[in-house]
């Protein structure tokens, strides 16, 4: 499955709600706004050779990363968010909050959720890109998938597939537009 629902299924929305002291429906609405923003930012950064290399390096550090809210390194999550959005973090958070009609999904809430969800997103992408794959039947042994730069998995295709979700398109295209890709490349 290469849509955002696969990533959403990895996010412990109830635990996030408990940790932040907010209703679960508000946490879910905020997470649904955060996901396309993160993936869109990753895709924008990965559109250059240096950005793609940086993403591949980050993915190697997030294989099997924790998805339990209490175990997630939010300081690492904050670094990920900073690398994705650069100086546009506040503007992105405001735009993502504005896209959700729930009055409790604020830019401040988005800023709290981003560093929790960012490591989960990288872990999901790492599992898709770096997970061992079976070799063709003619081969005598299974071989691991090559990193995106080695031609094993199309990182751009994976991110594009995630962004093909209609909800992602409305958030990324219409809402965030020129803000994406402001991080490290």
pLDDT values of the chain reduced to their tens digit, one per residue, 185 residues = 457 788 888 899 999 999 999 999 999 999 998 998 898 888 887 778 887 888 888 888 887 766 788 889 999 999 999 988 888 899 989 988 888 778 899 999 999 999 999 999 998 888 887 765 544 444 333 333 333 343 445 555 556 555 555 555 445 544 444 545 444 44
Note the pLDDT of residue 146.
35
Note the pLDDT of residue 144.
37
Note the pLDDT of residue 107.
94
What is the CA 66 to chain-centroid distance, rounded?
14
Dist. CA 57–CA 167, nearest whole Å: 28
The token pair at 115 is: 């560093």
Q: What share of the chain is helix, strand, coil (3-state, %, to 5)?
A: 70, 0, 30
Note the pLDDT of residue 160.
58
């Amino acid at each position: 499955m290469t849509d955002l629902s696969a990533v959403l299924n990895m996010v412990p929305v109830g635990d996030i709600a408990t940790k932040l002291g907010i209703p679960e429906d508000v946490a879910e609405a905020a997470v649904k706004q955060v996901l396309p923003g993160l993936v869109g930012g990753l895709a924008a950064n990965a559109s250059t050779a240096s950005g793609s290399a940086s993403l591949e390096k980050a993915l190697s550090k997030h294989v099997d990363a924790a998805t339990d809210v209490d175990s997630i390194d939010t300081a690492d999550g904050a670094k990920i968010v900073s690398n994705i959005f650069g100086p546009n973090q506040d503007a992105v958070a405001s735009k993502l909050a504005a896209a959700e009609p729930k009055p409790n999904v604020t830019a401040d809430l988005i800023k709290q959720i981003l560093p929790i969800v960012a490591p989960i997103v990288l872990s999901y992408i790492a599992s898709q890109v770096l997970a061992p794959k079976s070799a063709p039947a003619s081969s005598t042994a299974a071989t691991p998938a090559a990193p995106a730069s080695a031609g094993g998995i199309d990182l751009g295709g994976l991110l594009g597939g995630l962004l093909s979700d209609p909800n992602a398109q409305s958030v990324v295209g219409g809402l965030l537009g020129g803000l994406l890709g402001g991080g490290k490349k």
